[in-house]
Amino acid sequence: MKHIIVGTAGHIDHGKTTLIKALTGRETDTLREEKERGISINLGFTFFDLPSGKRAGIIDVPGHEKFIKNMLAGISSIDIVLLVIAADEGIMPQTREHFEILQLLDVKKGIVVLTKADLVDEEWLTMIKEDIRKEFKGTFLEDAPMHSVSSKTGAGLEALIKNIDEFTEEVEAKDTQGHFRLPVDRVFSVSGFGTVVTGTVISGSIKEGQTIEVYPSKVVSKVRGIQIHDQPAKIAEAGQRCAVNIANVKVSDVGRGDVVSVENLMEPSLMVDCKLYYLKSAPRPLENRQRVRLYHGTSEIICRVVILDKEQVEPGEEAYVQLRLENPLTAQRNDRYVIRSYSPMDTIGGGSIIEPLAKKAKRFNKEYIEELKIKESGKTESILENTIKNLSEGYPRAVDILKALGKNEENIENNLEQLINDKKIVKFDTGDKAIYLHSEFISEKVAELENILNKYHKENPLKWGISKEEIKNKIFGKAIKQKIYDQMIEMLINSQTINMHGSFISLPDFTINYTKDQKLIRENIIKAFKAAKFSPPKYNELEAEQNDSKNFKMVFQSIMDEGALIKVSEDCFFLLEDYNKVKDLIIRFITDNGSITLAQLRDELDTSRKYAMSLIEHFDSIKLTKRLEDKRVLY
């Protein structure tokens, strides 16, 4: 079902609140001060049932220039605006400012309502209508319906209601399937229930019992109850005004401007990249780093405008800007915003958010501006690919990408799959949470790896390469999970980009080429170990027999690297084949006898206690065996 929000706009004392009361029979001014002064200060909320049976929510905004920030908190979520102009006064300063705000927020549907029509004659009314048509020529209100009404006598109200009902059919349906977002406009406590937040659901839906998160504070809570138009409900959807009772959260933990959304979905930021339209009516050019007030959703935040592509922005011009905020903002891509000058507080511009999680940008950086243009284009695959490219260094999961995208992306899995098929990104799946890396990121890492290995092979011709763990730290960093790294290495081996020798990584065409003297040293080492069997020679003894100590060290290490020699203790090495024989013997002996002692192992191997001790302690350390008193059993 389509849900509609109707909002008012217009100058103070032009009859907005009186009009709403005439249409609905309900008063939206609830504060004592509002009733005493006869002006709206805060937002007013109510609803009315249309002839078609649809129920529309109504937001009544204050018209006084002092309360523009309250007006902005309400107007950002409306579908249809009733621009209220008093027939006896015509267009006034706040009429123009409200209208500029409506344009900046991209409101597309509006009706001009001429109130207090009973106070003027027909000739005056005709003149006022002509002024209004002239004022709004070339805007979304150029051909808008215009109704002359009297809230006092009821004249014209029936036709206005009928027109509103017709407009509801033309309003584009809200995104009820996206991720739930509710910008908070009011917070209060209800005795026996606790904290209640109200607002207009701008996307998705929320159910009773669902877990939610309050941003930017990141307080996690559950929905205890929902009310829509003062009636309990099990679910609230995009386009509906609702009150949500949230559990175990203090009133002081939530405020106007906060956003209630899905847990772990959004990320507050102190910088956002935007497209800015600077109003023609702005009194002076916008200077770089000028301090302004940002209005987004229901929030007001002080910030500085860093102009990325111009020295300054003249009235009527557009620019790419980065807003650097004094408090964190929780936004999504394509959200609309408005800026007002810091002092005096005049509306000077606005536009759309391109990157809600921006990184500090340098001015006139062509590459950065081109990136913003891609994001601004709205082409999902291009934006998604670009986002993954920027995030690859952190090895992002789908949820990280979704946060960085800063927009509802229900088909993200399909779009990711398409990029994989196009070989623009690569998926690494560990069985729990997959990560996605841009192909260019992988190519850069491979080039870095090949350079390091090339240099290493030249400097260490007898070494099989660099250890797998060292490569991980040097090239891929601490952010990569071991399972992902293992998959990465497997992929590079399968593509014949690298080779593995035990735990060492080398280039695929690398082989150890011994000199004649080195070959002889190698043969002598292997020969000595074969002859000694389970009582192997010591390293120092073998080294002493050689004339070339430097080459001996290199060759011995090379045999170790290729895995032909296994180190079991500080000065005890075994040939791989003898090591495996000992291992098999221990497993077989314990399987047949239940356990093995140090003396039994010594006798089985016909070796000394020292070598038997080195072996059994080594197998304890790798958890093949474990000690029980003076015996060993299988671990």
Cis link prior to 537 (omega < 30° from 0)? no
- CATH homologous superfamily of 181-262 equals Translation factors (2.40.30.10)
Average confidence score pLDDT of the chain = 88
Picking from 617, 196, 512, 47, the residue whose alpha carbon sits closest to that of residue 625 is 617
Domain ranges of the chain: 4-170, 181-262, 269-371, 441-506, 516-634
C-beta neighbour count of 289 within 10 angstroms: 10
CATH architecture assigned to 441-506: Orthogonal Bundle (1.10)
Buried b (16+ CB within 10 A) or exposed e, 356-383: bbbeebeeeeeebeebbeebbeeebeeb
Kindly report the pTM of this predicted structure.
0.70
Distance, C-alpha 334 to centroid of its chain? 14
pLDDT at position 431 is 67
Homologous superfamily of 4-170 in CATH?
P-loop containing nucleotide triphosphate hydrolases (3.40.50.300)
What topology is assigned to 269-371 in CATH?
Elongation Factor Tu (Ef-tu); domain 3 (2.40.30)
In the prediction, which pLDDT does 64 show?
45
Identical fold between 441-506 and 516-634: yes
301's enclosing H/E stretch is strand 299-307
Question: For 15, phi and psi rounded to 5 degrees?
Answer: 95, 25
The structure tokens 């250890």 sit at 467
**Distance between CA atoms of 505 and 369, rounded to whole angstroms?**
40
How far from 436 is each of 397, 422, 429, 439, 482, CA to CA, in Å?
6, 14, 9, 9, 15
Q: How many whole angstroms separate alpha carbon 427 and alpha carbon 319?
A: 37
* pLDDT score recorded for residue 308: 97
When the candidates are 1.10.220.110, 1.10.10.10, 1.10.150.120, 3.30.70.380, the CATH number that belongs to 516-634 is 1.10.10.10
Mark the ranges of the chain whose per-residue pLDDT is less than 70.
Answer: 1, 27-44, 61-76, 406-411, 431-432
